[in-house]
């Protein structure tokens, strides 16, 4: 009944799109839904508006059940059942094909880990459907009311110039009065938002900040710049647009190479990964090269170590968002030629796939990858992961800890540090009549 309602009102996916994955299932594999067999477990998770965890398993010749591929799937609109189911089944098709390729490349069943199967079988009920329907309708009603008064998902940028501890201990603490103060720039909710901050220190030691600047009237991001005050390292001057294209720009990753400064902004709307060169820095940028084409890639981040350039980026697969599958490439120069890592995607998990800033080494020399937690919603929090293995044939990482936004705010999704300057963007729901302001607070 509810599926019929969604089809009638929202033009939801048709029935064949919601069962096609079953027809394509490879007979040598089985699918686990949140640890157990049975499609009903997937329905249950979606009705509860929880993240589906899909696992392709294989009964190896030794009789043991081994995990071949898995994904914690990003569901952008959890209150729409048909679309959520379609996204999950689309990822199921991708996982089956991925499992086939991995089995073909494997040299031994021991290449794959053993998996435990839960005996708990979920059962959906009429009560589950009613609760889902009531939640959907109440959310629709609330959104219609709030959108008249409130700007949801408004982003501002917080800057700290106090030289925070390099052991990242401050990130593990909840917001408290003794935390360092941050200067939070909140643009007018009727005009624009600021997000994706990347600081840079030039050859003279002056600090600059580049970020996504999105005017609400165009809904198309540009890259803006502000020079931090050299005496106080604070944001005082108004920002200026330094890069604009016919398509949306965001996430201005900055790096230096052979005496030049380059930028890799996100250009997923153009289906490219592009590099721009400062000409001159910081006010003008020219297209230097296109790294990849015909690709919907987000938040591309480069990292150089031991003679190898690494490229991390999340890539859209099928109809799902580009929040939950992280791909890795390597090359001898930042301009290529780029070679795909054999373990791609190296992360398939909406809780920590998408990049959230520069990769760096901490005071203990651990290689740290900031990541976005997009499980609750896009850009809801940060994860800091330690990369424990990075080579052309192997990749491994360990999630260390997460950072939730402070009370009254709803998200983080970019964290960066250069020298004494640390920056983060903060998502908030704010009254539309609010004015642009600068506040100081703990995070």
Residue 129 falls inside a structural domain: no
219 lies in the same domain as 277: yes
Residue 142 falls inside a structural domain: no
Which of 71, 105, 124 is the C-terminal boundary of a domain? 124
Q: State the residue range of the domain holding 430.
A: 151-442
> For position 418, which CATH number holds?
2.115.10.20
78 lies in the same domain as 191: no
What residue has token string 């079988």? 121
165 lies in the same domain as 212: yes
188 lies in the same domain as 326: yes
Residue 140 falls inside a structural domain: no
Residue 109 falls inside a structural domain: yes
82 lies in the same domain as 165: no
110 lies in the same domain as 155: no
Each residue's pLDDT tens digit, 90-108 = 999 999 999 999 999 988 8
Residue 369 falls inside a structural domain: yes
Tell me how many domains the chain contains.
Answer: 2
Cβ distance 309 to 330 under 8 Å? yes
202 lies in the same domain as 117: no
319 lies in the same domain as 232: yes
Residue 137 falls inside a structural domain: no
99 lies in the same domain as 224: no
Residue 63 falls inside a structural domain: yes
Residue 189 falls inside a structural domain: yes
Which of 89, 108, 124 is the C-terminal boundary of a domain? 124
316 lies in the same domain as 402: yes
CB atoms within 10 A of CB 145: 10
288 lies in the same domain as 418: yes
Which of 105, 124, 143 is the C-terminal boundary of a domain? 124
Q: Is-above-0.75 flag for pTM?
A: yes
Walk along the chain (443 residues) and give the pLDDT tens digit of each residue: 656 656 655 555 555 555 544 444 566 799 999 999 988 899 999 999 999 999 999 988 888 899 999 999 999 989 888 889 989 999 999 999 999 999 999 888 888 999 988 877 778 888 888 898 888 888 878 777 777 788 999 999 999 987 777 767 666 665 443 466 889 999 998 999 999 999 999 999 999 999 999 999 999 999 999 999 878 878 888 999 999 999 999 999 999 999 999 999 999 999 999 999 999 999 999 999 999 999 999 999 999 999 999 999 999 987 778 899 999 999 999 999 999 999 999 999 999 999 999 999 999 999 999 999 999 999 999 999 999 999 999 999 999 999 999 888 999 999 999 998 999 999 999 998 889 998 888 88
271 lies in the same domain as 380: yes
């Amino acid at each position: 009944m509810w599926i019929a309602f969604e089809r009638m009102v929202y033009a939801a996916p048709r029935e064949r799109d919601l069962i096609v994955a079953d027809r394509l299932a490879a007979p040598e594999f089985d699918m686990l839904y949140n640890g157990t067999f049975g499609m009903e477990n997937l329905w249950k998770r979606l009705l509860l508006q929880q993240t589906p965890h899909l696992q392709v398993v294989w009964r190896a010749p030794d009789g043991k059940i081994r995990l071949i591929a898995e994904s914690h799937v990003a569901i952008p609109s959890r209150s729409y059942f048909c679309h959520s189911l379609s996204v999950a089944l689309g990822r199921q098709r991708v996982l089956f094909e991925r499992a086939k390729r991995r089995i073909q490349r494997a040299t031994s069943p021991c290449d794959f880990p053993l998996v435990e199967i839960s005996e708990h079988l979920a059962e959906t009920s009429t009560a589950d459907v009613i609760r889902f329907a009531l939640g959907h309708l109440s959310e629709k009603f609330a959104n219609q009311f709030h959108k008249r008064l409130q700007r949801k998902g408004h982003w501002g940028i917080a800057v700290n110039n106090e030289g925070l501890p390099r052991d990242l201990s401050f990130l593990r603490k909840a917001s408290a009065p003794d935390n360092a103060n941050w200067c939070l720039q909140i643009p007018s909710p009727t005009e624009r938002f600021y997000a994706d901050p990347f600081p840079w220190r030039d050859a003279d030691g002056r600090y600059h900040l580049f970020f996504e600047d999105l005017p609400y009237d165009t809904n198309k991001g540009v890259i803006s710049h502000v020079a931090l005050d050299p005496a106080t390292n604070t944001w005082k001057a108004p920002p200026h647009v330094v890069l604009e294209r016919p398509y949306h720009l965001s996430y201005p990753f900055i790096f230096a190479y052979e005496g030049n400064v380059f930028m890799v902004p996100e250009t997923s709307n153009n289906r490219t990964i592009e590099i721009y060169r400062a000409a001159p820095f910081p006010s003008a940028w020219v297209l230097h090269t296109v790294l990849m084409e015909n690709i919907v890639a987000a938040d591309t981040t480069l990292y150089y170590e031991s003679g190898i350039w690494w490229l991390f980026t999340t890539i859209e697969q099928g109809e799902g968002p580009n929040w939950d599958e992280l791909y890795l490439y390597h090359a001898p120069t930042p301009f290529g030629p780029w070679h795909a890592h054999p373990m791609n995607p190296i992360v398939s998990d909406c809780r920590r796939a998408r990049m959230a800033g520069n990769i760096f080494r901490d005071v203990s020399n651990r290689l740290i990858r900031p990541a976005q937690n997009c499980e609750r919603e896009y850009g809801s929090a940060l994860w800091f992961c330690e990369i424990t293995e990075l080579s052309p044939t192997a990749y491994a990482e360990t999630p260390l800890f997460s950072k939730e936004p402070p009370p009254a705010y709803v998200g983080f999704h970019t964290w960066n540090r250069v020298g004494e300057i640390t920056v983060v963007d903060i998502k908030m729901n704010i009254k539309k009549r609010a004015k642009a302001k600068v506040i100081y607070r703990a995070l």
